[in-house]
Structure 1
Amino acid sequence: MFVNNKISIGLLMALISVIFLGSCQQYKDQSIIYKKDHSQQFDSITTWLEEPNNYHQENYQTTFYKYYNQKIREKNYKDAAKAMEFVSLNNSGFFYFDQLFLETLTSFATLYKDKVAPINSTFVYTYLGDYYYDKGDFTKAIENYRQITLLEATDYLSYYRIGDSYRTISTCYFWMGNQKLALENNFKALEYISKTDNISALLGIHLNSSNIYMGSNDADNAIRSINAALKYAVLNRKVNQTNVFICLFNKINIYDHTKQFDKMYPLIDSTYRAFKQSGLNDTSIKVSLASYHNVKLLDEGKFEDAKLVLDEIRPEIIALDSKIANLEYDVMLATYEIKVNRGIKDTQFIENMIPGFLEKRNFSKARDFYATLLNDAIAKKNFEKALDYRTDFEMMKDSIGKEEMVNKVVELNAQYQTEKKEQQIAFQQKSLINKNTTIALLFSALIVFVLLVLAVILRQKQRKLKVEKAHAQMYTKQLLEKTEEERKRIASDLHDSVSHELLSLKNSMEQKSSQTDQKIDSIINDIRSISRNLHPIMFDKVGLKATINQLVERAQTTNGFMVTAEIDYQATLSTSVELQIYRIIQEALSNIIKYAEAVAAKISITEDRNSIYIEIKDNGKGFDVNEVLNNSNSFGLHNIIERSRVIGGSAKIYSDKKGTIITVEIKKI
């Protein structure tokens, strides 16, 4: 299959422009910085002019001119500019460059452009760039697109328009044969567009990369780029299915240029069939896919079917009114005529196109045209002409090779410089990492040192608090012991001295009476009661259990309510600790008698291997434990809690309307 059977990607590059000049689609990504503002509202006419589907309405152009002229008369230049911007985008998108609109736009640029913000007048340069691009004057196209790149990038719109301009400049350099500048500007475009959420623009940039790599015969990177573009197209297919077919067309083109026909033909069939079934009404895509379908039919010898395809797309080509599309169709028709042995009717027309391509250094396009002429000469058995065309064809191949070699050398040098810089950066990063590691280690060591110091200080404070607590507990214990000793002495004096003296007085009185005896007996009983309360008589001899039983018996006799005691205790504690237990029970029982209004109470003492458990409960009216403990008059309850703590135990108090339970747990030492 000769080169002339390969459909040039010129039409494709024009199709890519549609993507960028169409509506911006959104793609959510965590790396996005600027997002398109959808809150901006326009009046009904401007909104109608913006919609591409309305472009083919009969009143589209007249509606625009009427609205535009009205806004100019009102000196509302901002609305006039916005309407002209939308119409210029649609004109470029459908390759419609009429003289009236060009004159209107030029007039606006001269008279009113400076009356709106720079970002709102960039469409002037975009349209002029597209106009010269369509005419094949890439130098003037670049001059206009370059004006947009001078904007300051501050928001979504500026980033998008600068990126789109770099992308179009890249395309121009591609057609001028300068693949190095094409790739550089495409990378610039990606740098700016990556700051936005415009998925269509990102897709177009990867498409552009694919074509540039193909211009350098780098098929591997071309396929990678087209696959990246296809991913974006698939992600956004519900919004714009056309992009999927643009990517597939590019992939077919790559397979064609790399002679991978085993992959190309199946992809042509599936893509052409899918487009037919999609119901899309996109003339540009239809013509492009039909062109490749026609090539396949010619290679298979299906000349009648191929002629039907040519007849079918001819009206579409005329409607497009595009110089590039017309050239593509002429090459297709010439290829058909060669295949059916009719030969090219007007070889001079094709020859006349070649100098223009050479002037623009578009060697690949010139090569394809020479290949077409070569095949025609061979078919007509005009071998002298065939030899000339073959010589010119090889010269174009050499020119492409030289151009690619120059670009490759520049590219390799750029890669070398890049790698050199990367090595320097890597070294600096390594040094920085080492410094950061050292700083981190020092900082970590400092933190560890500070933590150790804090730990030592905290431990010393805890030890000091523990010692102070132990001293306080010992002091309280000694105070209670001294108090008990003093009580014991006073109780002994009352019992042994005062009580004995009263008894002697009673026996020595000469004049006795029953009333006097009763009075003295009452005094003696009171003194004995006071003595027992101060210190239980015989406690040291009879022990805790017997003393508590005596306390219970006196409480029942004196106060007239039922108290029981269940004591399972084997005298494992010291006498001083037992005495404090007795005081706890005595205090609890006293509180029940004074405040609880209880009918019954129960005292329990049990023990296990590690602890002694004491429980005093009653069926009284109960009280609010927190409220009473916070009261300054709750000496009795605090006395129970403090005594428990002094002997190494802990007290808990629970109370409700059904009664009160006091539990004390004492650890055995």
Structure 2
Amino acid sequence: MGFHTNNLKIFAVFILLSTVFACHEKSDNVIYEKKVSTGKLDATFAWLDKEENYAKANYMPVFYDYYQKILNKDIGQAAHVLEVVCSKKARARSFDKKFVNTINTFSNRYRSKIPVKKTLFINSYFTTLYNDKGDYKTAISYALKTVSTEVTDYDSCRDIAYAYCDLSFCNFNIGNQDLAIKYNMQALTYFKKINHINGIGAVYNSLAGIYYTANNYPEAEKYYDKAIDCFKKAKDLDNVFIALYNKAAIYSNDNNKNLNALVESTYNYFNSSGSKSKDTKISVYTSYISSLLRQEKLKEAKKIIDEIEPVVREVNSTQTNMEFDVIVADYKLKNNEPIDTEKIRNTVIPYLVENQNYQRLKIYYLILKDDAVKRGDYKTAYEYEINLVNVSLDIGNEANSDKVIELDKKYQNAEKEKKIVTQERTIAKKNSTIAWLAFSILAALVIIVVYQSRQKQKKLKNEKQTAQTYTRQLLEKTEEERKRIASDLHDSVSHELLSLKNMFDEKTSVTNTKIDAIINDIRSISRNLHPVMFDKIGLKDSIRQLVDRAQSVNNFMITAEMDYEYDLTSSVELQIYRIIQEAISNIIKYANAIASKITISESKNKIHIEIKDNGQGFDVDETLNSSAAFGLHNIIERSRAIGGEAKIFSDKNGTIITIEIKKQ
């Protein structure tokens, strides 16, 4: 049972290693997994990290106090907490001077002392800051710094993906639609590498905006719906509302009858969601105010304006301020109230032109045109219409629409081709893996077979050695018993017979002859049981005595040639003597031979023994399988017991027995 268990363990380990090697092949489509932090955050850091605490009045004081305490102790921890707060401040579009100075100071003093990937959040924060200001060129410069870094893990891949989103947004606002869609697709690629559903939704939301600007409303709506699905899966309600707000803009331009219903449902959904995002609240509320204005519900619109204005002033973001100012201007136009056109012409328009913020510029030209129409100044209104058309042509004319569609299709085709190539590579790798596993299994089976064979050989060898040891010990015990019996016969019985012979008073020749014959028989039996003086004279002289005795007793010629000097143990030499004795006895009894020859020689590693006769021969296999082969089996087993091997060859010309014994 243990033997088979070991084989299974070897097989399992081999297959496991094969699978591991196969699964560790490099893939072009690297997926970065988000690492869950196993360390325990201290209480203050954990409090700062919780989203719901950001709205509390003591959030920033707690942060500054904590940050100053750890700054000189652990720069890495200080960077980490800065990253957490930066993320929340950027999301809330909060860019107060004190915090911006804190980030700048940290960047100037400590940024070079920690890994680049740990400071990418600084680029992200300033990208968002200058995006909010409408300074897209500066925002682009920060985002480009981020995308130029190497992707090494989940966090760096996420930061680079969002930087590409920022690049797309900036280029979209300054009219570079080709770059906008290019960067969007790069962002999508990186978000897919980390399976970042929220980021993928952000890309779809941006693509929808590009299609909307290109006046391709069906495609824009399709991408907004895809973005909303992603945001819902990610449970990011704030972005769900932003996407719904953007989708409402499509319905507005497309005169969709469901527009007002969509806006109102979004407004109600936000208020019931419990969202604390002030930035999102401003966008949802301004969209709802716009819907009320379209329906000429001016009182309701004014009520919502008054409700949201304190939030706008609290956030004090360039983007949200402009967004609110536009909706207030729209309300004033519909309510026949004057608007500050001088501020728009002399401050807002030059600022937007300088920063190439064509999307926002188009909105303000529309406000100025509507104001001029209200005042009956059609010449000025016409001039603003021309400006409006020129801006619209820059960012959303038919050529641009075709270009966006073309770029999108190119990307989609490239993605399909990439997927096909990836699938082909995957299939090839799978085939390679299958082939490797098949080879591994085959190799494992070969190893098991070889292992089993070796174990079997080892077992047989052990059994053979055990049998040899047992046989040798049995023969040694037998020889000891023979020696004892021979000694008793020679020393006791022979002496007793001699004493008996000398005791007879009347000695007759017959009596003497009989007693002498008995004594000679006993001596012969004694010599056969154990050769006299063997331990003293050794193998060669004992064999010579055996040969002389065989020739003298039998009408038979036998010779012996012995070229042997190797010093075998006495017990091994005695077994060789017994083998030769048994062979001579068989020749005399059964061979009907005239002559026989015994040869003992030695080589570097072996002792060679040959016993040859010119007798009548016999069938070796038949004889060995019969009950009359005790003598031959005796020769074979004695040879094995001393580490040798006996071979018997016989035909009508005689018999040859060869024995080879390894030198120890």
Separation of aligned partners in 1, 2:325 and 2:421:
58
Equivalent residue for 1:251? 247
Q: Residue 66 of structure 2 aligns with which residue?
A: 67
Q: What displacement does 1:314 show?
A: 0.6
Residue 414 of structure 1 deviates from its aligned partner by 8.6
RMSD: 3.4
Preserved CA contact (<8 Å) 1:36 1:197: no
Q: In the alignment, is residue 231 of structure 1 matched against residue 229 of structure 2? A: yes
The answer (yes or no) to whether the contact 2:214–2:404 under 8 Å persists in 1 is: no
Call closer, same or farther: CA 1:165–1:343 in 2, change over 3 Å.
same
1:257–1:148 CA distance, 2 compared to 1 (3 A): same
Q: Give unmatched runs, 5+ long, in structure 1.
A: 1-29, 444-669
Task: Confirm whether residue 285 of structure 1 aligns to residue 288 of structure 2.
Answer: no
Which amino acid is the alignment partner of residue 156 of structure 2? S
Which of 192, 195, 216 pairs up with 1:218?
216
Q: Greater CA deviation, 407-416 or 316-325? A: 407-416
- C-alpha separation between the residues in 1 aligned to 2:269 and 2:126? 36
Letter in 1 for 2:33: Y
Unaligned runs of 5+ in 2: 1-28, 436-664
Conserved? CA contact 1:338–1:376, under 8 Å: yes
**Kept in 2: contact 1:246–1:285 (CA 8 A):** yes
Contact 1:255–1:264 (CA<8 Å) still a contact in 2? yes
1:189 to 165, 187, 190: 187
Instruction: Report the secondary structure of 1:37's partner residue.
Output: coil
Q: Counterparts of 1:533-552 in structure 2 under 5 Å?
A: none
Q: How many residue pairs end up in the alignment?
A: 403
Shift of the alpha carbon at 1:311?
A: 0.7
Please give the alpha-carbon distance, in whole angstroms, between the structure 2 residues aligned to 1:40 and 1:204. 31
Structure 2 counterparts to residues 569-648 of structure 1, below 5 A: none
Aligned residue in 2 for 1:80:
78
1:50–1:334 distance in 2 versus 1, CA, 3 Å: same
Which amino acid in 2 is paired with 1:246?
I
Q: Secondary structure at the match of 1:194?
A: helix
Separation of aligned partners in 1, 2:241 and 2:183: 25
**Displacement after TM superposition at 1:422 (Å):** 8.0
- When residues 263 and 43 of structure 1 are mapped into structure 2, their CA distance, relative to the original with a 3 A threshold, is same
**Partner of residue 357 from structure 2, selected from 362, 365, 370:** 362
Residue 303 of structure 2 corresponds to residue 308 of structure 1: yes
Deviations 1:410-459 (A, max 9, x none): 874795799699899989999x99x99xx99xx9xxxxxxxxxxxxxxxx
CA distance, structure 2, for counterparts of residue 156 and residue 425 of structure 1: 22
- Cα deviation per residue 1:157-196 (whole Å; 9 max; x = unaligned)? 1211111111111111111111111111111111111111
Separation (CA, whole Å) in 2 of partners of 1:256 and 1:38:
46
**Could you tell me which residue of structure 2 aligns to residue 381 of structure 1?**
376
- Contact kept, 8 Å, 2:211 with 2:220, in 1: the verdict is yes
Identify if the C-alpha distance between structure 1 residues 148 and 389 changes in structure 2 by more than 3 Å, giving closer, same or farther: closer
Question: Aligned residue for 1:405?
Answer: 399
Cα 1:422–1:294 change in 2 (3 A) is closer
User: For structure 1, which segment, 325-334 or 197-206, has the greater mean C-alpha deviation from structure 2 after superposition?
Assistant: 197-206
Q: Deviations over 1:47-94 (max 9, x none)?
A: 2222232223333222222222222222x1111111111122222122
Cα shift at 1:304:
1.2
1:390 pairs, out of 385, 388, 395, with 385
TM-aligned CA deviation for residue 318 of structure 1? 0.4
Contact 1:95/1:322 (8 A) holds in 2? yes
Report the Cα offset of residue 150 of structure 1: 2.5
Q: Deviations over 1:479-509 (max 9, x none)?
A: xxxxxxxxxxxxxxxxxxxxxxxxxxxxxxx
Q: TM-score, normalised by structure 1?
A: 0.55
Aligned equivalents of 2:355, 2:92: Cα separation in 1: 24
- The ranges of structure 1 where at least 4 consecutive aligned residues each deviate by more than 6 angstroms after the TM superposition are 416-430
- Between the aligned partners of 1:40 and 1:175, the Cα distance in structure 2 is 42
In structure 1, the partner of 2:503 is none
Q: Secondary structure at the match of 1:301?
A: coil
Aligned to 1:56: 55
Q: Tell me the equivalent position of 2:10.
A: none
Residue in structure 2 matched with residue 14 of structure 1 by the alignment: none
Letter in 2 for 1:374: K
2:312 counterpart letter in structure 1? I
Q: CA deviation at 1:202?
A: 2.0
The answer on whether the counterparts of 1:173 and 1:181 sit within 8 Å (CA) in structure 2 is: yes
The question of whether the paired residues in 2 share the 8 Å contact of 1:175 and 1:362 is answered with: yes
State how far apart, in whole Å, the 2-side matches of 1:270 and 1:47 are: 36
Could you tell me the percent identity over the aligned residues?
28
For residue 310 of structure 1, report the CA deviation from its aligned partner: 0.9
Give the corresponding residue for 1:318. 313
Paired position in structure 1 for 2:34 = 35
1:406 CA displacement? 5.5
